[in-house]
Copies of this chain bind each other. A is one copy, B any other.
């Protein structure tokens, strides 16, 4: 499968409302070995990798033209699981065109999205099926699965927005989402976070 579409005419892409997976388009997959450094507990990540290389999340890049008039869209699937106390999550990103927003619509599963702008303002919104979450301009955003089934969302953003992973990879997020000893989740300061 290759994701080749003519964006100057109408077309369709199918996605399962339950799994988020497409029968016709090809996803991008992120396995633990490639994203282990984003979790704070290095020892737990190393231990997990001894038993295999779990798929942490996958999403669809459909090849939208990088034009301000086009709209990128697809699904994102974050699998259930933890690295130590920390829930599986996406790498998260700023948009390269920082002043562009995005919307996520939750189809299945539960969890949340954590937000952070360059000035350090942080917020968190909960996902459950039917909840749309607005990503304002200028906010990095990351999906976190706090449940026991895949967290499936449909997303849309401007075609030229781009993804800036580098800033987040270097500095990390200020806050992490971990399991509470009593069950459920809580946000804690990221011990790996670097101020500059």
Chain A interfacial positions (CB closer than 8 Å to B): 5, 7-17, 68-71, 73-74, 97, 99-103, 105, 107, 113, 115, 121, 123-126, 129-137, 139, 141, 154, 156-159
The reply to whether A123 and B156 form a contact with Cβ atoms under 8 Å apart is no
| Cα separation A12 to B115 with both chains bound (whole Å) | 13
Our pick among B73, B107, B125 for the contact of A11 (Cβ within 8 Å) is B125
Indicate how many identical chains form the complex. 2
Our pick among B17, B129, B135 for the contact of A10 (Cβ within 8 Å) is B135
| Cα separation A143 to B139 with both chains bound (whole Å) | 33
Task: Known pairs A14-B132, A69-B101, A71-B134; list 10 more (Cβ under 8 Å).
Answer: A10-B115, A10-B123, A11-B133, A12-B131, A17-B107, A69-B100, A71-B102, A73-B105, A73-B134, A105-B105
